[in-house]
A and B are shown apart, each in its own frame.
Chain A
Amino acid sequence: MGVEGIGARVERKEDKRFLTGKGRYTDDMVVPGMKYAAFVRSPHAHAKIKSVDGSTAEGMPGVIGVLNGQQMLDDGIGNLICGWMIHSKDGSPMKMGAWRPLAHETVRYVGDAVAVVVADSIDEARDAAEAVVVDYEELPAVTEAATALTGGQPQIHPEAGGNLIYDWAIGTDVAETDAAIAAAAHVTEMTIVNNRLSPNPMEPRAALGIYDGAEDHYTCYTTSQNPHVARLVMSAFYNVAPENKLRVIAPDVGGGFGSKIFIYPEEIVCLWASKRTGVPVKWTSDRTEAFLTDAHGRDHLSTVKMAFDSDNRITALKVDTIANFGAYMSLFSSSVPTYLYATLLSGQYDIPAIHANVRAVYTNTAPVDAYRGAGRPEATYLLERTIETAARELGVSPAELRRKNFIRSFPHQTPVIMNYDAGDYEASLEAAMKEADWAGFDARKAEAEGRGKKRGIGMSCYIEACGIAPSAAVGSLGAGVGLWESAEVRVNAVGTIEVLTGSHSHGQGHETTFAQLVADRFGVPIDSVSIVHGDTDKVQMGMGTYGSRSGAVGMSAIVKALDKVEVKAKKIAAHLMEADESDIVIENGEAKVAGTDKTVPWFQVALAAYTAHNLPAGMEPGLKEGAFYDPSNFTFPAGCYICEVEIDPETGKTEIVQFVAADDFGNIINPMIVEGQVHGGIAQGIGQALLEAVHYDPQTGQLLTASYMDYAMPRADDLPSFKVSHQNTPCPGNPLGIKGCGEAGAIGSPPALMNAITDAIGNNDLTMPATPQKVWAAVHAAQ
């Protein structure tokens, strides 16, 4: 591997600029003549807009323009769309209501944008935004999805009767599943709530729209995880500008967790407003706007039946889920509770019959879309809470019940589409139990009792699907795009290398890991390798970063391009050394003739390609190759997490005393970065299980958790030191054997923690987040 190659713990190249405040984020961008946008947002969860009067605002100091939704409609700017078609059980397409970038008839959640003010300064824009008079006719609102489906509730979009977007099912025939449940020796039934979360990236969303009238060309700096997709969608659907007239740049981006995949109204408005006003327009979200308008995550209500035979083998699983989509269908919202959720309901278990039904529902809340894990945490939480409860009901150890039902031969076809390619679930379970000293738990529990504490232990055996995904497969399931990735490797004339990737780094460390891949291939130092990403004018079309896909898909594209570069470099080296191409090896920064002392330094191979003075006959000059990689399957990271807690029964406060993660991510490029991803993911998972929840007032639809005073984020002192280890069954589906690691921590940790808490207090029905109040009430009720 070398000191900088695959498997090396190389420190992150990008951290110098991040840690010294030299990162360049969208809000850092300043262009001549730039002005500032402030949005007028709905204070109501549901209302008719009777009029928008910007006349006072237009006369205020510094104001350049006050623009509204009717003007945007008149200019032909299209609706925001959801790009993944889902069909209901009856064959009908999903019922998508119109989402205008600036609402002109109806507002549907608190924070819905109604108008925008462009002014010389942020404060002047905000002052004027407060002076825009919007006359609303308030309508009743509904925030809970299950309530929104019941009769007599507010109708949110005329297109979706009864607020139902789709009623979809997957898996085994429902009658067959019911029959298996009826014949079971034991059935565990649960109601599972997956709490709504706010994504909270450190950098809030921002956009800078620059219209060049002379060229009729637009530039958009924005906080995006996938700038190429942003350009595609803004061109093809929102009618902002044709692709060749729209450049999208996502510079340094300070975290996304999914929330920056989607195209939001604000970037479209900044581009449009720049043309309307003739000045570059910048908007940067404040934290309150982020709470109000960043796409939320999760928000499922499910019932589950898990059936067992007399030998404790799972015979059937039946799931009914209601997914809250909020007021509008965000870009990938429809795929999250369907193909990213229900397809994972087999977990690590061999389950012959699985039937899942999912209803997607409009409510008067912020849109809901992918958030770290996106569907897979919801599936894992449901399964792992249920099997843990089943073990308690059946009186068997949770490890034994899981072992009995593990899938042990691969490939394994589940009843819910997925075909698992490789895994060793027992290995991770064993490693985790050993590290956690599972056998010593009873003694620790007894000792804790002596101190008045209730100690509990819980596990979670998760699987997820990453590396999304084979384009033809997702196309057949309704995706509007292919999910391949692209790369271009440019070897410069003196041998330094630029890699242009369609992946996007917003904290993942691509500038380091991708460079390690190149260093490993040619034996050059990583400092001679630069990674270029995030600019549609520099990089060929790409699909961006989400779903833990940059390693498995993005790096596979780089491997394909490196293969092509290597072939050409070997031809050149063979020609220079008058050797046979098949005898050339490239390592340690030079090309060698195997078995001889003949070498040519790497830079001379590159130079020869560009001087073109002495190339093989017919060879084109240059050393630059591109590749597109389309995966053949999802990848399937899996692992076992064990959490141990102590609860103060007097206050309900939970202390996590131990957290063990044993993950199988396949091959690993940089273990330090992978461990960082696991740490961050677990922190977010613990946040969901212990602290975080978005609360809306059910009557008024007002967001009650609109600041950190009320939305509890995990802090360092809420977390223990994590014990992290890796098992490895290489992924057979891609050239590097990589599975992906970005989301696992957030997927596997919530059920482990909740299983530990419910073990401690003996209450299987506890819901997330397990706040001190809830835990105390559960303990108190049991006494």
Chain B
Amino acid sequence: MYATNYHRASSVADAVHLKGASDESKYVSGGMTLIPTMKQRLAAPSDLVDLRHIAEMKGITVSGGSVRIGAATTHAEVAQSSDIKAACPALAHLASLIGDPHVRHMGTIGGSIANNDPAADYPSAMLALAATIVTDRREIAADDFFTGLFETALADDEIVVAVTFRPPERAGYCKFPNPASRYAMTGVFVAKGTDGVRVGVTGAGADGVFRHAAMEAALASDFSPQAIASVTTDPSDLLSDIHGSAEYRANLVTVMARRAVAAA
């Protein structure tokens, strides 16, 4: 690892201020991707501004028909939250599948979605739940937030403060983990709610997380596993690597989607 300066931000404003002090600074919120990358000398931020201890970015609230999860909330806190288990058990289940206990106690929902790893779990849920990404300066619909592999709509110094969504009527998440990394080789989150049926697919897309229009259409009229059993996915839009070909991932999209609907 190259030498870096660590700063613990006390507030959102403090974080923006700290980050602005250097051109080569980066936010860190768990660092479950960033720190290993730095240890391999593949990233060299001069300053790390830690968002994980900002009080206004922590905690889970459910009120007025809306769920709000502070961006600095850890995966373990989401997985164990009785509020989340009541409002959207599929999301608690998703959080319980991320990484290992160490990762779940360090990694945060804000860090995950801001990083937008194409095999991360949370982005699929954000799309399917029609979540709103609340930043320090605006609100961004999930549909507009995830813009490509490790790319988001965030400005360089913009901070995700929270995510909000309306509890779905039904939702399910099913993930096939990569045997080596245990990231999603394919993960599918399905949700049925006031926004209709939405299907978010992670781990499979060549351009990152995506919504599956054909499955959403099929499920809108019949929210059942059988409804999407014959819905296919074009392999040319999917990732291919030593662990899984695009054809294999196309199959997994259907299988995981069916199982997610069954679990919803």
Contact = CB atoms under 8 A, between A and B. Distances in A.
Interface of A: 123, 126-127, 130, 288, 650-653, 690-691, 695, 704-705, 708-713, 771-773, 776-777, 780
Given A123-B2, A651-B252, A712-B180, A704 B242 contact: yes
B238 to A, nearest CB: 13
Nearest to A649: B255
Contacts of B3: 123
Contacts of B181: 708-710
B242 A123 contact: no
21 contacts: A123-B1, A126-B41, A651-B176, A651-B252, A651-B255, A690-B179, A691-B179, A695-B242, A709-B183, A710-B180, A710-B243, A712-B180, A713-B180, A771-B179, A771-B243, A772-B244, A773-B244, A773-B245, A773-B248, A776-B251, A777-B245
Contacts of A780: 251
Contacts of B180: 691, 705, 708-713
Nearest to B251: A776
A690 B180 CA distance: 11
Interface string B227-264: 00000000000000011110010011001000000000
Interface string B156-192: 0000000000000000000010011101000000000
A442 to B, nearest CB: 28
B40 interface: yes
Contact of B242 (A650, A653, A705): A705
Contacts of B176: 651, 653, 772
B225 to A, nearest CB: 12
A645 to B, nearest CB: 15
B241 to A, nearest CB: 8
A708 B243 CA distance: 13
Contacts of B179: 690-691, 712, 771-772
Interface residues of B, number: 18
The prevalent SS among residues of B at the interface is loop
A776 B243 CA distance: 12
A93 to B, nearest CB: 38
A776 B248 contact: yes
Nearest to B248: A773
Interface of B: 1-3, 40-41, 176, 179-181, 183, 242-245, 248, 251-252, 255
Contacts of A772: 176, 179, 244, 248
A705 B180 CA distance: 10
Given A651-B252, A709-B181, A710-B180, A773 B243 contact: yes
Nearest to B255: A650
A568 B263 CA distance: 76
B228 to A, nearest CB: 13
Given A710-B180, A771-B179, A773-B245, 14 more contacts: A123-B1, A123-B2, A126-B41, A288-B40, A651-B252, A651-B255, A652-B248, A704-B242, A708-B180, A708-B181, A710-B243, A773-B248, A777-B245, A777-B248
* Most chain A CB inside 10 Å of its own CB: which residue of B1, B41, B176, B242: B242
Contacts of A130: 41
A705 B181 CA distance: 11
* Most chain B CB inside 10 Å of its own CB: which residue of A695, A773, A776: A773
Nearest to B3: A123
A653 B180 CA distance: 13
A708 B182 CA distance: 10
Of all A-B residue pairs in the complex, the 3 with the closest CB atoms, nearest first, are: A712-B180, A712-B179, A709-B181
A711 B178 CA distance: 10
A773 B181 CA distance: 15
A652 B176 CA distance: 11
A106 B256 CA distance: 49
Nearest to A777: B248
A705 B2 CA distance: 24
B113 to A, nearest CB: 20
A713 B245 CA distance: 20
A563 to B, nearest CB: 51
A653 B175 CA distance: 13
A711 B180 CA distance: 6
A127 B44 CA distance: 12
A713 B178 CA distance: 12
A60 to B, nearest CB: 13
A705 B242 CA distance: 9
Contacts of A713: 180
Contacts of A705: 180, 242
A776 B252 CA distance: 10
Contacts of B243: 710, 771, 773
A126 B251 CA distance: 44
Contacts of A708: 180-181
Nearest to B258: A650
Contacts of B242: 695, 704-705, 710
B42 to A, nearest CB: 11
Contacts of A776: 248, 251
Contacts of B244: 772-773
A674 to B, nearest CB: 30
Nearest to A707: B40
Contacts of A773: 243-245, 248
Nearest to B252: A651
Contacts of A711: 180
A195 to B, nearest CB: 12
Nearest to A774: B248
Contacts of A653: 176
A652 B243 CA distance: 12
A713 B2 CA distance: 28
A251 B216 CA distance: 61
B243 to A, nearest CB: 7
Nearest to A695: B242
Contacts of A710: 180-181, 242-243
Contacts of B252: 651
Contacts of A695: 242
